[in-house]
Amino acid sequence: MKHQRPNFNCNPSNYLTGSPSRLKWIFILYLILFSISTVAQTDPEKNKWEFAVAPYLLFPNMSGEITVNGILVDASANAKDIFDNLELGGMLYLEATSDKWAIILDGYFVNLKVKGTTMVLERKIEYRLNQSMIAGAGLYRLNSWAEVGIGGRVNSIGSKLYIEPGEIVLPGRDFSMNETWFDPLLVARAMTRFNNTKWRLGIIADFGGFGIGSDYAWLINPFAGYQFSKLFEVNAAFRWNGMKYESGTGDDLFKYDMTLYGPSIGFMLHF
């Protein structure tokens, strides 16, 4: 049966590929062991830790496609579309820093419900997307403004697509798929605080996947912050986050080829 490509009236928003090789896993294991060894040699007297927590609000745009059970869905949307169809969402950033090290965690989840019609027969569609992400990284400070490290990102996506029956003989169709995968990452951050001011400016970026999870995954996130006091800081940022992931074939095909981008604002507590 030839699949139809749904179209939402509401307009909801070369790389390394293949299965992981032994060499990739050896390389990743080496980086992890090297990091652990370096931390173990750090003088605890010089390694006072500070912590920060920041709930934030992202105004995302989506550009790309999702394939569920072999059926292609245009999932492009702007921030208004997403908030109009948002059922639940949350974002949180955590960080621990010392003189030489930084550990960061970043996560979000969104539940979207979208209604539309198919392109040809204009059959009604209901599409649900439940997406969550948590990323973590360990960074080593090279100098006063540059850090490099390794990390990983866990992505979990649940997709449900319901096509109502046609007016004459066409039956209704119900599809659902759930996918969770892990992307190893190489991470870098540059950040500086202006002398004698409460402003700081920086950018964090990563690249990964390497065919272990996604074919490729990347993030570019410039940010600026103003610290009102020792405890409180407000942050503004802009995020570009893309990935291409695929599993299964034919009617079992799941494909997520998406770029998420948009501004964010956060309120950070230091302690």
Stated pTM of the model = 0.77
Q: Residue 260: which of 119, 157, 139, 148 has the closest Cα?
A: 157
Residue 112: what pLDDT?
85
Residue 234: what pLDDT?
96
5 falls within a domain: no
pLDDT > 60? residue 90 = yes
How many C-beta neighbours within 10 Å does residue 9 have?
11
Q: Domain range holding 26?
A: 14-270
Name the β-bridge partners of 13.
none
pLDDT > 60? residue 171 = yes
3-state helix, strand, coil in the chain (%, to 5): 10, 60, 25
Mean pLDDT, residues 163-189? 81
- Three-class SS state of 210: coil
Q: Give per-residue pLDDT as tens, 17-38.
A: 344 444 555 555 555 555 555 5
4 falls within a domain: no
Is the distance from CB of 226 to CB of 234 less than 8 angstroms? yes
pLDDT > 60? residue 134 = yes
Least confident piece of the model among 45-54, 61-70, 169-178, 196-205: 169-178
Q: Give per-residue pLDDT as tens, 50-79.
A: 999 999 999 999 999 888 787 787 778 889
67 falls within a domain: yes
Residue 15: what pLDDT?
33
At 129, is the pLDDT very low, low, confident or very high (cuts 50, 70, 90)? confident
Q: What is the CATH number of the domain that holds 207?
A: 2.40.128
Single-letter residue type at 117: T
Residue 157 CA to residue 174 CA, distance in Å, equals: 17
3 falls within a domain: no
Instruction: Tell me the range of 82-96, 166-180, 192-206, 229-243 where mean pLDDT is highest.
Output: 229-243
Q: Residue 3: which of 60, 71, 63, 61 has the closest Cα?
A: 71
Q: How many domains does the structure of the chain reveal?
A: 1
In degrees rounded to 5, what are phi and psi of residue 81? -55, -45
